[in-house]
Structure 1
Amino acid sequence: MADFVHEDRVSQRSTSSLRDVVQTTLRVEANALLQLSECPPDKMCAAAELIFASDGPLVVAGVGKSGHIGRKIASTFRSLGRQAVFLHAAEASHGDLGIIHDDSVVLVLSNSGETTELGDLLTYCRDYKIPVIGVTASQDSTLGKASEIVIAHGRVQEACVNGLAPTTSTTVALAIGDALAVGVSHLSKAEPQDFRRYHPGGKLGARLLTVRDLMHTGSALPIVTPELPMQEVVITMSAKGFGAAIVCDEGGAVLGLITDGDMRRNVSKLWQSCAEDLVVGSPKSVTPDETAAAALKFMSSQSITAAIVLDDRGKMCGLLHIHDCLRAGVEE
């Protein structure tokens, strides 16, 4: 029978184009995920709840391709705010079992559930009553029987042209790990700012920056009094480098914002004027806790380059310049 299967695959390879192979690979893996989503393993919710309820770091273990998937799953948990580490099952037998805390949960990945290197790890967890969540094809496998919770996804067709290399099975394991991580994040009521705390770099980090992260405060602010002559206002604006000056009364209340554009529009009377003469209407403002992307969109819509930052009581707490947003990689 094996010879016939081999001959059939060889025949398929000789008649199939590379495009066909690529499409078939994607289709096989997509179908496996679709079937998984339509009928997810019974114990996935219980597994997420167990991880959420534990106080120690999640330990994700595996060998070979399952190990690579395990590293990514541990990384996803960390990015969502959950302590997690990867443990190579073979290294566990040589001292790395010490990474497992008494209050940890161990998530073990093995498609066959019979990987020899898992033996010492599973024995340790049994002896020290460490709960194990097994992600495997069959609940009747050695891993399945040793696990407190078994996520049995069933046998899947590997997308490899020989049906041997871990392809579909690792994709399924990765999706299960992602679902667990997102489920734990849901139980934790994680907010976007929680994600940004652990992922400050890149465009995603820039999207989640707030006005508070970028605004200028304290002595950096170009604050002038209403009666200050414009000659001195210009000096303050040049020294602070924002191309703007904030006009405040003696009590610190903001009366307005003077920009380079305001000076150009009043150039004929500029040197005979003081700061309050150039203030027109209420200053455009943003709040410290709104996203920098929202503030950038607001400034662009108003055709302004700087905005006062006011708290919920209307008190000034900073100044945001459009260049601050652009330098940080913020996009509308």
Structure 2
Amino acid sequence: MKLIKNIRNSAIKVLQSEAEALQSISERINGDFEACVEAILESKGRVVITGVGKSAIVAQKIVATLNSTGTPALFMHAADAIHGDLGMIQREDFVICISKSGNTPEIKVLVPLLKRLGSKLIALVSNTQSYLAEHADFVLDATIKEEACPNNLAPTTSTTVHMALGDALAVCLLEAKGFSSEDFAKYHPGGALGKQLYLTVADVVPKNTIPVVSHDSALAEIIVEISSKRLGATAVTGEEGQLLGIITDGDLRRMLQNHSDITKVKAQDIMTANPKTIDVQEYAIRALNRMKEYNITQLVAMDNGNIAGFIHIHDLMKEGIV
């Protein structure tokens, strides 16, 4: 039990230490950060992010975030840069150099070369008095009090703060560009996330047949329609084909409880009027959200006022959205 308690306490201490560091960093978002975002927005170049060791891993994550949110970015390892990879940098590019100390040998070699190329240099650094910070055009202050490591050695809090500042930078650029969910979908077409962002009701509805009965249809016709189309429901239409209501399996069960003479029952007697609908051009994920909101399992899909079919929660489950 003592070991378990120590493990728990250690984990909590790490999380609290990193949370405090993030709170401290948020108070140091200054004019340099704002100017950095504005300069990148005005630039015609790309964002190239570099670093060594753990900073290189953080750089790759920030590159991925920027690319997925509409800001073209490249990763360049600082050690490889001085052995040929500098060729990927163009004059219009912004280079973000990530370093805790800002004084590593690779950084001291790389910085003058970057300045000679004419690219703007952004220092994401935990030491604002370092060589890197002194020679950068913009400084993103990632100063921390100490690492979460008990020896104050292993990059823990520092890498967390660096990554969080990268997220802040990416989101600020995203918002400034008006990057929408539709834009996001272009970069994430695969998997469940992609489907949530691009799959529409129209993509799902054609897979289903359309159960429809007239408002004066008899019970036998209603049962056959629901059973044959296998969707557990049918739409009810008026004389001009307009949607009047919906009848579900549940409505049929309630009808048996409430009507003593079922031979005279018509569709209009047992239907739910003004059923919940959704336009075929809406995203399928919105259909799911509407089903959850009203605690139902299907919606009538409409296309310019006409019944286009039904979208059932099972359809969304098959698509991997649920």
1:323 paired to 2:314 = yes
Give the Cα separation in 2 of the matches to 1:260 and 1:20: 54
The AA in structure 1 aligned to 2:200 is R
How big is the shift at 1:222? Answer: 1.0
Most deviating of 147-156 and 274-283: 274-283
- The RMSD of aligned alpha carbons is 3.8
1:305 paired to 2:300 = no
208, 219, 222: which one aligns with 2:210: 222
* 1:204-219 alignment, distance < 5 Å: 212-213=200-201, 216-218=204-206
Give the Cα separation in 1 of the matches to 2:100 and 2:317: 47
With normalisation by structure 1, the TM-score equals 0.73
Structure 2 equivalent of residue 7 of structure 1: none
Structure 2 equivalent of residue 281 of structure 1: 273
How big is the shift at 1:64? Answer: 0.3
Structure 2 equivalent of residue 184 of structure 1: 173
1:113 paired to 2:105 = no
How big is the shift at 1:278? Answer: 6.0
1:39 paired to 2:28 = yes
* 1:1-332 alignment, distance < 5 Å: 21-118=10-107, 121-154=110-143, 156-195=145-184, 197-199=186-188, 212-213=200-201, 216-218=204-206, 220-224=208-212, 226=214, 237-238=226-227, 240-248=229-237, 253-264=242-253, 269=262, 279=271, 281-287=273-279, 288-289=281-282, 291-300=286-295, 304-310=296-302, 314-327=305-318
Judge conservation of contact 2:278–2:287 (CA < 8 Å) in 1. no
Give the Cα separation in 1 of the matches to 2:16 and 2:302: 53
Structure 2 equivalent of residue 12 of structure 1: none
Q: Deviations over 1:42-74 (max 9, x none)?
A: 411112222333344422211101111112222
Change over 3 Å in CA distance of 1:211–1:36 after alignment to 2: same
Judge conservation of contact 1:223–1:248 (CA < 8 Å) in 2. no
The AA in structure 2 aligned to 1:289 is E
Give the Cα separation in 1 of the matches to 2:29 and 2:148: 20
Most deviating of 88-97 and 208-217: 208-217
With normalisation by structure 2, the TM-score equals 0.75
Give the Cα separation in 1 of the matches to 2:311 and 2:199: 7
Judge conservation of contact 2:126–2:144 (CA < 8 Å) in 1. yes
Judge conservation of contact 2:102–2:130 (CA < 8 Å) in 1. yes
How big is the shift at 1:155? Answer: 5.8
Judge conservation of contact 1:42–1:151 (CA < 8 Å) in 2. no
How big is the shift at 1:80? Answer: 2.8
Judge conservation of contact 1:215–1:320 (CA < 8 Å) in 2. no
Q: Give the total of aligned pairs.
A: 309
Q: Deviations over 1:191-223 (max 9, x none)?
A: 4454455456777668x5688347643473415
Which consecutive residues of structure 1, in runs of 5 or more, have no partner in the other structure? 1-16
Judge conservation of contact 1:215–1:321 (CA < 8 Å) in 2. no
The 3-state SS of whatever aligns with 1:283 is coil
Percent of paired sites with the same residue? 36
Q: Deviations over 1:79-111 (max 9, x none)?
A: 333332322222233443344355432211011
